[in-house]
């Protein structure tokens, strides 16, 4: 016997779900999406990479400790269990605030995605402060591409040094210059020092990797200034013990294939031969931020970040949220925790609105502190007024990074790779391709 139709379902279809578009699959975008997984909304996430990137561990990909897959799982896979979330690969080019659409492009094809609510979480990118030519010689550390490029340059430099007969040229191949003494520069300098002095010690026959020089240039008067004077001093001391040559008050004014020119703290200009350079000195907002600000009349700060209302919405557009690194609000720092919390905050407001509550609430940041690893077993951490360093700081670093790495499998293999690198001497992710070694010179 055929069942009678269920009248309610057939004749009164459910109203179309509230459409949410999220641009960006970083911490802000991903945490917003996850917070919407059980909401009565249809989410489309548009991002220009197919992965969610755990940027704090990029330096470990560059120095051969972790594989890129461990810190950059496919976003589609991370969100596979949530049927109301669709993931689309594409670069967002524009937002039409009046007609509420996002225009994106993928392989020359442009498409529009309509929204009822929008969350923009496109973050920041490396800034060379007007010296865009530096990009060729000193990659930044913001994407998987850049980390792999740096891996190629670092391991490629040791390979080239092994066959270089001219001692001056060989010394330049064995000199690594890191520009910027924030967390990324500090972590990178510490890891290259450990790599050369420890991990690669027995691997070469002509060169002695332990003779490699690691130079760290910072324009301010100290390293990790946002961690306070005490941890700044501890960091400098620990890096010097590792053999890193730390130059504070030192501004890199020029660079080329063979080295860098630096205005030192005493005003003299010095040249350092260094074939491998990396840039960790500055960030600027992604271009979408400026577009949104121009279209809405919102202000931007020095980095081009969008000044938002206390609830993270765009002035005059309560349906648009700007979260994470791209947002300027109350001088909040560009850290993962701010991105996660603002992403979740926007998601909560959207869920309430989709349920008929048009209210708003200001964002309140819960500061959980910041961390930076200096070497194996040494890290610095600022937790409110509390400063932790040395081995206890490193244990904290380990626990926090394990907790926030995405996916159980990644946590498991990361622990394995950390054991290989920190307890043993190995670096299991040293593979570089011929394309990378051939490009130890300028980026094409
Ligand atoms: C090397 C490094 C180390 C760091 N270490 C730490 C740390 O130890 N602790 C800490 O708290 N924070 C750290 N941070 C900062 C932290 O990673 C950021 O604060 C956080 O990633 C910001 O999240 P977000 O979502 O705002 O931006 P992001 O994570 O940068 O994500 C932006 C997303 O937008 C996408 N995107 C950009 N433009 C477009 C476009 N036009 N169209 C589509 N998609 C686009 C990007 O591909 C990416 O998916 C570090 C950052 C770096 C670079």
| Per-residue confidence (pLDDT) for residue 2, from 0 to 100 | 44
- Nearest-atom number in ligand 1 for the CA of 75 is 49
> Could you tell me the strand order of the sheet in which 386-389 lies?
370-375, 378-383, 386-389
Distance from residue 121's CA to the centre of ligand 1 (Å)? 9
Assign residue 188 the CATH number of its domain.
3.50.50.100
CA pair distance 367, 429, nearest whole angstrom: 34
Mean pLDDT of 317-337: 97
- The dihedrals phi and psi of 192, each to the nearest 5 degrees, come to -65, -40
- Nearest-atom number in ligand 1 for the CA of 338 is 19
214 bridge partner residues: 176, 244
Q: What is the mean pLDDT of the chain?
A: 92
Q: Per residue in 169-188, pLDDT tens?
A: 999 999 999 999 999 999 99
Nearest to 67 by CA among 373, 371, 432: 432
Distance from residue 258's CA to the centre of ligand 1 (Å)? 31
* Pairing relationship of beta strands 213-218 and 244-248 according to DSSP bridges: parallel
Assign residue 314 the CATH number of its domain.
3.50.50.60
| Per-residue confidence (pLDDT) for residue 1, from 0 to 100 | 41
Does ligand 1 lie within 6 Å of residue 285's CB atom? no
The proportion of the chain whose per-residue pLDDT surpasses 70, expressed as a percent, equals 94
Structural domain harbouring 348: 17-48+90-126+284-354
Residue 386 located in a structural domain: yes
- Would you tell me the crossing angle of helices 336-354 and 27-35 to the nearest 10 degrees? 30
Contact present, 349 and 311 (Cβ < 8 Å): yes
Please identify every residue annotated as catalytic.
Answer: 187
Residues 159 and 272 in one domain: yes
Distance from residue 354's CA to the centre of ligand 1 (Å)? 28
Beta strands in 63-116 (DSSP E): 85-89, 91-96, 101-106, 109-114
Residues 288 and 264 in one domain: no
Q: Per residue in 243-281, pLDDT tens?
A: 999 999 999 999 999 999 999 999 999 999 999 999 999
Residue 12 located in a structural domain: no
Distance from residue 386's CA to the centre of ligand 1 (Å)? 26
- Would you tell me the crossing angle of helices 229-242 and 183-194 to the nearest 10 degrees? 20
DSSP states along 144-204: HHHHHHHHHHHHHHHHHHHH--SHHHHHHHTEEEEE--SHHHHHHHHHHHHIIIIITTTS-
Mean pLDDT of 351-365: 92
Please state the domain count of the chain. 2
Mean pLDDT of 348-353: 96
Q: Is the pLDDT of residue 103 over 70?
A: yes
- Nearest-atom number in ligand 1 for the CA of 283 is 53
| Per-residue confidence (pLDDT) for residue 385, from 0 to 100 | 84
Mean pLDDT of 308-320: 98
| Per-residue confidence (pLDDT) for residue 4, from 0 to 100 | 45
Contact present, 280 and 179 (Cβ < 8 Å): yes
CA pair distance 286, 47, nearest whole angstrom: 13
Residue 82 located in a structural domain: no
H helix intervals, 17-78: 27-35, 58-62, 68-71, 75-78
CA pair distance 364, 286, nearest whole angstrom: 24
Rounded to two decimals, the pTM is 0.92
Does ligand 1 lie within 6 Å of residue 324's CB atom? yes
- Cβ count near 226 (within 10 Å): 13
Residues 163 and 274 in one domain: yes
Q: Per residue in 127-145, pLDDT tens?
A: 999 999 999 999 999 999 9
Q: Per residue in 28-67, pLDDT tens?
A: 999 999 999 999 999 999 999 999 999 999 999 999 999 9
Q: How far apart are the first and last CA of the chain?
A: 71
Residues 147 and 106 in one domain: no
């Amino acid at each position: 016997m055929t069942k009678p139709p269920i009248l309610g379902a057939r004749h009164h279809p459910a109203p179309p779900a509230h459409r949410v578009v999220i641009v960006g699959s970083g911490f802000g975008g991903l945490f917003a999406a996850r917070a919407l997984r059980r909401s009565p909304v249809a989410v489309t996430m548009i991002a220009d990479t197919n992965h969610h990137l755990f940027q704090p561990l990029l330096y470990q990909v560059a120095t051969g400790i972790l594989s890129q897959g461990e810190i950059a799982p496919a976003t589609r896979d991370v969100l596979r269990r949530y049927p109301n979330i669709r993931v689309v690969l594409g670069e967002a080019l524009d937002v039409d605030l009046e007609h509420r659409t996002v225009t994106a492009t993928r392989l020359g094809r442009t498409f529009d995605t309509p929204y009822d609510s929008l969350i923009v979480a496109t973050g920041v990118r490396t800034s060379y402060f007007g010296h865009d030519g530096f990009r060729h010689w000193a990659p930044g550390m913001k994407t998987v591409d850049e980390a792999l490029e740096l891996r190629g340059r670092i391991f490629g430099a040791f390979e080239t040094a092994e066959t270089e007969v001219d001692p001056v040229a060989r010394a330049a191949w064995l000199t690594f210059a890191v520009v910027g003494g924030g967390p990324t520069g500090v972590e990178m300098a510490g890891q290259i020092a450990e790599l050369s002095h420890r991990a690669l010690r027995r691997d070469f026959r002509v060169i002695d990797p332990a003779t490699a020089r690691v130079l760290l240039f910072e324009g301010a008067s100290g390293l990790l200034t946002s961690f306070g004077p005490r941890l700044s001093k501890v960091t400098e001391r620990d890096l010097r013990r590792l053999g890193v040559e730390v130059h504070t008050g030192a501004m890199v004014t020029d660079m080329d294939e063979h080295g860098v020119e630096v205005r030192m703290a005493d005003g003299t200009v010095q040249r350092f031969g260094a074939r491998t350079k990396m840039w960790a000195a500055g960030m600027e907002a992604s271009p979408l931020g400026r577009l949104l600000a121009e279209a809405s009349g919102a202000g931007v700060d020095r980095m081009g970040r969008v000044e938002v209302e206390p609830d993270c919405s765009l002035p005059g557009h309560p349906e648009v949220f700007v979260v994470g690194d791209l947002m300027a609000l109350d001088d909040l720092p560009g850290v993962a925790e701010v991105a996660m919390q603002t992403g979740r905050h926007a998601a909560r407001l959207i869920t309430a609105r989709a349920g008929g509550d048009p209210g708003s609430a200001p964002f309140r940041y819960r500061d959980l502190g910041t961390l930076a690893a200096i070497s194996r077993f040494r890290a610095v951490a600022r937790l409110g007024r509390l400063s932790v360093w040395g081995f206890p700081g490193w244990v904290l670093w380990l626990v926090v990074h394990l907790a926030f790495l995405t996916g159980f499998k990644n946590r498991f293999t990361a622990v394995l790779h950390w054991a290989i690198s920190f307890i043993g001497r190995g670096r299991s992710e040293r593979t570089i391709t011929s394309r990378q070694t051939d490009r130890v010179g300028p980026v094409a």
